[in-house]
Structure 1
Amino acid sequence: MHGTFTPPARARRLPLTLRLALREFRGGLSGFGVFLACIALGVMAIAGVASISRSLSDGLGREGRRILGGDLSYSLINREATPEERAVLAREGRIGTVATLRAMAVAGEGAALVELKAIDDAYPLAGVLVTEPHADLAQLLGPRDGVPGAVADPALLTRLDLKVGDRVTLAGHPFAIRATVASEPDKIAGGLGFGPRLIITQEALRATGLVQPGSLNRWSYRIAVPGASDAALDAAAARIAKAAPEAGWEMRTRSNADPRFAKSIERFTQFLTLVGLTALIVGGVGVANAVHAFVERKRGSIATLKSVGAPGSQVVGLYLVQVMLIAGLGTLAGLVLGAGLPFAIDALFHDALPLPLNPTLAPGELLLAAAYGLLTAFAFAITPLGRAHDVPVSGLFRDTVDPSARTPRPRYRLMLAAALLALVVLAVATAFDKRVALIFIAAAGLAFGLLRLVATGLMALARRLPHPRRAAPRMALANLYRPGALTPTIVLSLGLGVTLLVTLSVIDANVRRTISASLPAKAPNLFFLDIPSADADRFHDFLAKAAPTGKIERVPMMRGRIVALDGVPAGKIRPPEDAAWVLDGDRGITYADDLPDGSVLTAGTWWTPEEGRTPLVSFESELARQLGLKIGSEVTVNVLGRTVSARIANLRKVEWRNLGINFVMVFSPGTFRGAPHADLATLSLAHGTDGAAENRILRDVAHTFPSVTSVRVKDALDAVGDLVGKLVLAIRGASAVAVLASLFVLAGAVAAGHRARLYDAVVLKVLGAGRGRLLAAYGLEYGALGLATALFGMIAGALAGWVIVTKVMRLDFVLDLSGALVAAGLAVVLAVGLGLAGTWRILGQKPAPYLRGL
Structure 2
Amino acid sequence: MAENFNHTAGFSWLWKMAWRDARASFGKLGLFMAFIVLGIAAVVSIHSFGENLKDNIALQSKSLMGADYIIDSDQPITEKVSHIIDSLGGADASETSFSSMILFPSNGKTKLMDLRGISGGFPFYGKIETTQNDPVDFQQQNAALVDATTMLQFGLKPGDSIKFGNVTLPILGRLKSIPGSSSIFSSIAPPVLVPEYAVKSSGLIQTGSRIDYNYYFQARAGQDMKELDEKLDPVLDIENADIDTHTATSERLGRRYENFGKFLNLVAFIALLMGCIGIASSIHLYIKSKLRSVAVLKCLGVSRKQSFLIFLIQIALIGLLGGVAGTTLGVLLQQLFPAIIGNLLPFEVEITLVPEAILMGISLGFFLSLLFALQSLVGTLYVSPLEALRVINDRKNASLRARLAILLAIFVFIYLFSYFLLGDWKFAGYFVLSLLVIFGILTGTSQLFIVSVKRFFPKKASFIARQSLLNLFRPNNQTLMLVLSIGLGTFLISTLYFSRGILLKEASLDAQANSPNLILLDVQTEQAKNVSETITAEGLPVLDEIPIVTMRVAELNGKTTQELKNDSTSTINRWILNHEFRTTFRDSIIASEEIVEGRWISSFDGEGTIPVSASEDFAKDAEVSLGDTVIFNVQGVLMPTRISSLRKVDWGRVQLNFSLVFPAGALEQAPQFKVFTTKAANESQSASLQQQIVKNFPNISILDLRQILSLVEDILGKIAWLVNFMAFFCIATGIIVLIGAVRTSKYQRIKESVLLRTLGAQSGQILKIVSLEYIYLGLLGSLAGILLALVAGFLMAYFLFQSVFIPSLIPFVVIVPAICALVWLIGIFNSLEVIKSPPLQVLRKQN
TM-score range, shorter chain: 0.7 to 0.9
In the TM superposition, residue 427 of structure 1 has moved relative to its aligned partner by 1.4
SS in 2 for 1:592: strand
Supply the AA of the counterpart residue of 2:450.
M
Per-residue CA deviation, residues 183-221 of structure 1 (Å, 9 max, x unaligned), is 323323884551222111111111211123431111111
Aligned match of 1:85: 81
In 2 relative to 1, CA 101–175 (structure 1 residues): closer, same or farther, beyond 3 Å? same
The 2-side partners of 1:329 and 1:281 are apart by 18
SS in 1 for 2:475: coil
SS in 2 for 1:125: coil
Aligned match of 2:450: 459
The 2-side partners of 1:547 and 1:741 are apart by 58
Aligned match of 2:63: 66
What TM-score, normalized by structure 2, do the two folds share?
Answer: 0.85
- Residue 708 (structure 1) aligned with residue 707 (structure 2): no
Aligned match of 1:592: 585
Count of aligned residue pairs for this structure pair: 833
Per-residue CA deviation, residues 155-197 of structure 1 (Å, 9 max, x unaligned), is 3224433332222321243222221112323323884551222
Say whether the 8 Å CA contact 2:38–2:326 is kept in structure 1: yes
In 2 relative to 1, CA 306–359 (structure 1 residues): closer, same or farther, beyond 3 Å? same
Matching residue within 47, 50, 60 for 2:47: 50
Deviates more, 1:111-120 or 1:760-769: 760-769
The 1-side partners of 2:337 and 2:21 are apart by 40
Say whether the 8 Å CA contact 1:515–1:721 is kept in structure 2: no
Aligned match of 2:102: 105
Aligned match of 2:158: 164
- Residue 37 (structure 1) aligned with residue 37 (structure 2): no
The unaligned stretches of length 5 or more in structure 2 are none
Aligned match of 2:413: 422
- Residue 681 (structure 1) aligned with residue 680 (structure 2): no
Matches within 5 A, 1:349-748: 355-362=347-354, 377=369, 380-388=372-380, 390=382, 392=384, 409-428=400-419, 430-431=421-422, 440-463=431-454, 464-467=456-459, 470-516=462-508, 521=513, 523-536=515-528, 538-540=530-532, 542-543=534-535, 549-558=541-550, 569=565, 588-590=581-583, 592=585, 597=590, 598-605=592-599, 609=604, 618-622=613-617, 624-625=619-620, 629-631=624-626, 650-666=645-661, 679-685=673-679, 689-748=681-740
Supply the AA of the counterpart residue of 2:790.
A
In 2 relative to 1, CA 348–664 (structure 1 residues): closer, same or farther, beyond 3 Å? closer
Say whether the 8 Å CA contact 2:340–2:718 is kept in structure 1: no
Matches within 5 A, 1:702-851: 702-851=694-843
Aligned match of 1:217: 211
In 2 relative to 1, CA 416–636 (structure 1 residues): closer, same or farther, beyond 3 Å? farther
SS in 2 for 1:476: helix
The 1-side partners of 2:715 and 2:758 are apart by 63
The 1-side partners of 2:332 and 2:268 are apart by 16
SS in 1 for 2:54: helix
Matching residue within 258, 264, 273 for 1:266: 258
Aligned match of 1:207: 201
In 2 relative to 1, CA 170–56 (structure 1 residues): closer, same or farther, beyond 3 Å? same
The 2-side partners of 1:824 and 1:494 are apart by 10
Per-residue CA deviation, residues 65-91 of structure 1 (Å, 9 max, x unaligned), is 1111201112211x2334652342344
The 2-side partners of 1:825 and 1:345 are apart by 30
Per-residue CA deviation, residues 304-350 of structure 1 (Å, 9 max, x unaligned), is 35546778687556645643443343233333433454467679999
The 2-side partners of 1:621 and 1:370 are apart by 50
- Residue 177 (structure 1) aligned with residue 171 (structure 2): yes
- Residue 198 (structure 1) aligned with residue 195 (structure 2): no
SS in 1 for 2:703: strand
SS in 2 for 1:528: strand
The 1-side partners of 2:341 and 2:497 are apart by 28
The 1-side partners of 2:365 and 2:640 are apart by 54
Say whether the 8 Å CA contact 1:289–1:752 is kept in structure 2: no
SS in 2 for 1:600: strand
Supply the AA of the counterpart residue of 1:679.
F
Supply the AA of the counterpart residue of 1:33.
G
Aligned match of 1:236: 228
Matches within 5 A, 1:317-336: 319-320=311-312, 322-336=314-328
In the TM superposition, residue 549 of structure 1 has moved relative to its aligned partner by 4.5
In the TM superposition, residue 284 of structure 1 has moved relative to its aligned partner by 2.1
Aligned match of 1:127: 126
In 2 relative to 1, CA 435–383 (structure 1 residues): closer, same or farther, beyond 3 Å? same
Supply the AA of the counterpart residue of 2:204.
L
Task: Work out the percentage of aligned pairs sharing the same amino acid.
Answer: 22
The 2-side partners of 1:436 and 1:744 are apart by 30
Deviates more, 1:430-439 or 1:84-93: 430-439
The 2-side partners of 1:636 and 1:90 are apart by 33
Per-residue CA deviation, residues 670-723 of structure 1 (Å, 9 max, x unaligned), is 9999886x62413244xx755444333322211221111011221221122222
The 2-side partners of 1:850 and 1:770 are apart by 16
In 2 relative to 1, CA 242–473 (structure 1 residues): closer, same or farther, beyond 3 Å? closer
Per-residue CA deviation, residues 514-567 of structure 1 (Å, 9 max, x unaligned), is 444555756422212222345345545654665674322312254869999976
Say whether the 8 Å CA contact 2:520–2:702 is kept in structure 1: yes
Matches within 5 A, 1:251-262: 251-257=243-249, 261-262=253-254
In the TM superposition, residue 279 of structure 1 has moved relative to its aligned partner by 0.8
In the TM superposition, residue 224 of structure 1 has moved relative to its aligned partner by 1.0
In the TM superposition, residue 272 of structure 1 has moved relative to its aligned partner by 0.8
What TM-score, normalized by structure 1, do the two folds share?
Answer: 0.85
The 1-side partners of 2:385 and 2:640 are apart by 82
The 2-side partners of 1:744 and 1:441 are apart by 24
SS in 1 for 2:472: helix
Say whether the 8 Å CA contact 2:628–2:643 is kept in structure 1: yes
Supply the AA of the counterpart residue of 1:37.
A
The 2-side partners of 1:46 and 1:699 are apart by 51
